[in-house]
Structure 1
Amino acid sequence: MENLDIAKFGGTSVGNFDAMTSSYKVVVGNKNSRIVVISACSGVTNLLVELASGKCSDSKINEIIEKLRDIHEQIIIHLENQHELRNYIEGHLKEIKEQTLLANKGTNDQLTDSIVSHGELMSSYLFVALFKHYGTDAQWFDVRSVMRTDSKFSCAKPICEEIKVLAHDKLLPLINDKTIIITQGFIGSNTLGETTTLGRGGSDYTAALLGEALGVATISIWTDVAGVFTTDPRVVKTAKPIPELTYIEAAEMANFGAKVLHPSTMIPAVRQEIPIFVGSSKEPEKGGTWVRPVTKSEPNFRALALRKNQTLIVLSSPVMVGATGFLANVFSVFAKYNHSIDLVSTSEISIAVTIDAGTTTSGKAEISENMLNELRQFCHVKVETGLPLIAIIGNRMSENSGVITKAFDAINKFSVRMICYGASRHNLCFLLKDGDTTEALNELHKQLLED
């Protein structure tokens, strides 16, 4: 099909029957939307992560299972074939409970992925039933049959070449102008058929990967806000919608904590130059944000992003002075334990790095004590956790005098733990001391983004 669109709906867009109905109307309102990728119903993934933690008592397990049952039951009561739908959900709940009991004996990332994957499998099945309820033909598709990944459970990497082959073989033949294909975001499988996940928020990434594999014309990301805002409108009431962003700006925003897009979503879209639309499934008439290779304007300050729960590791050693190979030794240790370094700042005798704790499915940093001990063999190690990071996103910051000064003036009354600037013309990052970041975010927005 020409002009094929993949529509992705987040958890709040499929959180209950009314939300699903709004999302249904969005899909049928665009004749080019033939593939739908959805998340678990709102709140479900968090409940499943709690069960996977291995720390739930029997009473807590039963309480969470009942919550999961009720969330899906509130959708089922509006649909036909309720007996069959309840049996499907009960089958998953039974398996979830069995896996949770295994987690209590000893949890791991593979078991966590298996447990949390039930959320998308249940929501997508009910979404198909809702389409049929409204008289629209829809077909359920298990994305794990095409979303091939490696075996790094909780944050698996897609194998794009295999995804393309599998998507053309199994998914493309199903696409037509009469049937909507409904599938799951977030989950995949390795070559052994074991369930993996792409990390929290990975449903956007799923849509982009499928879009790249199938060569679609557009990717639509539907959420609970009308596009991308200059910052989180729940924190800063004066935040404004942004009509268009470049790929680079959107990637920077996503990477530094903007919740509207998954950080990896840009990568497949950029490779194929696929425009991405971000809008509200509840208020599609309000429009949204287009993400494209280039935009009409490129302001010095475009947006602010907040990323919480950062871990700062400061490594100090006098032997750094004039020495060669110290940084190589440090980075090789991080690579050995599969930790991705985010920000880096150096001085004569120390190096400070940050690690994001929010990218895995469990949302835990899980810094290896063995890694820290190995680092301690050649330097002093200090670890600080739970720190907030504010990133200023913009363009050509280093090319215009006074731009950075304005940013520093706006942050001057707040305690800054680390500053990172220079590697990119598109961001300036402040790692703050722990505490409420609301005031800092509002002040920066007022000084940099409000007329």
Structure 2
Amino acid sequence: MGTLVMKFGGVSVATTTALTQVISIVLQEKERWQRLIVVASALEGVTDALIEAARLAQLSNQRGYRRIVATIRTRHLALVEQLPLSADERNALNADIDQLLFEMLDVCQALSDALEDRFLTEKMDAIIGVGERLSARIIAALLRENDLRGVAIESMNLLVTDDIFGNATPDIQATRARVERDLLPMLERDIIPVITGFVGGTVSGKPTTVGRGGSDYTASVLAACAGADEVWMWTSVDGMMSADPGDVEAARVIPAMSYEEVAELAYFGARILHARMVQPLRDYGIPLRIKNVFKPQQTGTFVHHSAAGDQIKAVTSIGGLGLRTAEPTTLTAISKLVNRVFTEVIGTSADVMLSAQSSSATFLSVIVPTSAGLDATRSLQSALRHALKQHPEVGAWTVEPISVITAVAAGINRQPRLLSRLFFALDDAPLLAVAQGPSHCSLSVVVARDDADAALQRIHQHIIG
């Protein structure tokens, strides 16, 4: 067969057992595919630690960020020590780890000294992408130890992006030119490139990142530019699930889905995929498989243009904030205030999921991305309430935590019986708002946070089964 891109998530590269499984998978697929491209995530938890190190550097807390870097170094060196590597490979790998982390300490110091906000965001990206650079080197060394030509590749020299640091967007045409110039010749020489996920670079060579969970996005963009035949995402779960197993015990694997259905799930809270990674695959018609790295014999979930069945396949829940006022008003002032608070607290602009107005009230629901962390909703709620007190001219708004429950099914807008069953399942839950997705394969309802678990369970039990 032709070209396969495989992305391995953080759990897949975090332990000796997991890495052994990764190498076994690569060896097996090398027998079946002519060309392999591997995209590596950071070890589980490392990116969070790097973000904290960058935050401490901004506060000029040298002791704090040095302690975090020392912990990351110890973890990687301990992992390398346990791996079946020759002395030469181990020594070279240890030297690479030290060099990357020492360089990062210099960036932390520069971040401490930075005065301009733009300079801060640039240095942040240079810090938080180091985890993928470390793991790519480890995987490449293991491939070489198993007689494969593994080479770690820095994606900042391959994936060309704009300069929106922290949430950069790849330039497909510019990236394709570099892939054709630098990557494809390597594949023809039977090299297996192990590419750092999450990280890109501007035309001038400054490192960027493409958003949390962005290794998925890296894999899909590179697949599109390399003309890949398939993309496989290796995770710690069995595929796309009908609900988050942590929320719904009866959640099950979905065998097949369309691009649109998967994109809706990713956008509305399914943590397994980056929300933007589907678009390049859809544009170039590249199938996606989502598989469990610890159960490679299972088929997982297959994603392509269309998938059989028009029933509700999955239901998700994502947190957010609901703002309500009983005063006649426009949305301009409150939208600007919300956007400013979100940018200050979690570093990204507000995602207004729904706004509704009547003669007596106005309601606004804003999604809090899962990548913002567990405490983000509470922090944003507190910050918004404070900002509203400081700016009474915006109006008298209440701010409460809400949840957006989304049911995903192809052509849900053309199925009145299915919609009737959905609303029947939600009979006991007061609905704050209802929204139809523009892709026509999702319907979202906004409920109070305290009603979310019951609503999720009822939809799954009565409709998905």
Do both proteins adopt the same fold according to a TM-score greater than 0.5, normalized to the shorter chain? yes
Query: How many Å separate the matches in 2 of 1:384 and 1:222?
Result: 39
Does structure 1 conserve the Cα–Cα contact (< 8 Å) formed by 2:122 and 2:165?
A: yes
Query: Unaligned 5+ residue runs, structure 2?
Result: none
Query: How many Å separate the matches in 1 of 2:436 and 2:95?
Result: 55
**SS at 1:30 equivalent:** helix
Offset at residue 435 of structure 1 (A): 4.7
Q: Does 1:173 align with 2:190?
A: no
Offset at residue 215 of structure 1 (A): 1.3
Does structure 2 conserve the Cα–Cα contact (< 8 Å) formed by 1:343 and 1:354?
A: yes
RMSD of aligned C-alpha atoms? 3.2
The within-5 A match list for 1:357-396 is 357-358=369-370, 379-380=394-395, 382=397, 384=399, 387-396=402-411
Could you tell me the percent identity over the aligned residues? 24
Query: How many Å separate the matches in 1 of 2:6 and 2:426?
Result: 39
Query: How many Å separate the matches in 2 of 1:381 and 1:125?
Result: 54
The within-5 A match list for 1:410-421 is 410-414=425-429, 416-421=431-436
Partner of 1:442: 457
Alpha carbons of structure 1 residues 191 and 230: separation in structure 2 relative to 1, 3 Å: same
Query: How many Å separate the matches in 1 of 2:267 and 2:326?
Result: 28
**SS at 2:449 equivalent:** coil
Alpha carbons of structure 1 residues 5 and 142: separation in structure 2 relative to 1, 3 Å: same
**Per-residue displacement from partner, 1:300-345 (whole Å, max 9, x unpaired)?**
x11012223x2444577526xxxxxx56888799899883534123
Query: How many Å separate the matches in 2 of 1:395 and 1:24?
Result: 37
The within-5 A match list for 1:260-339 is 260-299=272-311, 301-308=312-319, 310-314=320-324, 318=328, 339=349
Alpha carbons of structure 1 residues 23 and 173: separation in structure 2 relative to 1, 3 Å: same
Larger helix percent:
2
Partner of 1:425: 440
**SS at 2:297 equivalent:** helix
Query: How many Å separate the matches in 2 of 1:64 and 1:172?
Result: 37
Does structure 2 conserve the Cα–Cα contact (< 8 Å) formed by 1:226 and 1:279?
A: yes
**SS at 2:460 equivalent:** helix
Alpha carbons of structure 1 residues 164 and 235: separation in structure 2 relative to 1, 3 Å: same
Offset at residue 105 of structure 1 (A): 5.8
Alpha carbons of structure 1 residues 238 and 376: separation in structure 2 relative to 1, 3 Å: same
Partner of 2:354: 344
**SS at 1:175 equivalent:** helix
Partner of 2:28: 29
Query: How many Å separate the matches in 2 of 1:161 and 1:252?
Result: 26
Instruction: Name the aligned partner's letter for residue 83 of structure 1.
Output: N
**SS at 1:285 equivalent:** coil
**SS at 2:307 equivalent:** coil
Offset at residue 283 of structure 1 (A): 0.7
**SS at 2:228 equivalent:** coil
Aligned with residue 95 of structure 2, among 45, 63, 87: 87
Alpha carbons of structure 1 residues 360 and 245: separation in structure 2 relative to 1, 3 Å: same
Offset at residue 390 of structure 1 (A): 2.1
Q: Does 1:241 align with 2:256?
A: no
Aligned with residue 114 of structure 1, among 118, 122, 126: 126
The within-5 A match list for 1:249-268 is 249-268=261-280
Partner of 2:419: 404
Does structure 1 conserve the Cα–Cα contact (< 8 Å) formed by 2:3 and 2:230?
A: yes
Query: How many Å separate the matches in 1 of 2:452 and 2:429?
Result: 9
The within-5 A match list for 1:13-92 is 13-31=12-30, 32=33, 34-54=36-56, 57-77=61-81, 78=83, 79-80=85-86, 81-92=89-100
Query: How many Å separate the matches in 2 of 1:10 and 1:436?
Result: 32
Q: Does 1:231 align with 2:243?
A: yes
Instruction: Name the aligned partner's letter for residue 75 of structure 2.
Output: I
Query: How many Å separate the matches in 1 of 2:337 and 2:74?
Result: 46
The number of residues matched between the two structures is 438
Alpha carbons of structure 1 residues 209 and 103: separation in structure 2 relative to 1, 3 Å: same
Does structure 1 conserve the Cα–Cα contact (< 8 Å) formed by 2:437 and 2:444?
A: no
Offset at residue 397 of structure 1 (A): 2.6
Offset at residue 157 of structure 1 (A): 1.1
Q: Does 1:190 align with 2:202?
A: yes
Instruction: Name the aligned partner's letter for residue 267 of structure 1.
Output: Q
Query: How many Å separate the matches in 2 of 1:70 and 1:293?
Result: 45
Does structure 1 conserve the Cα–Cα contact (< 8 Å) formed by 2:322 and 2:363?
A: no
Query: How many Å separate the matches in 2 of 1:100 and 1:392?
Result: 43
Does structure 2 conserve the Cα–Cα contact (< 8 Å) formed by 1:220 and 1:277?
A: yes
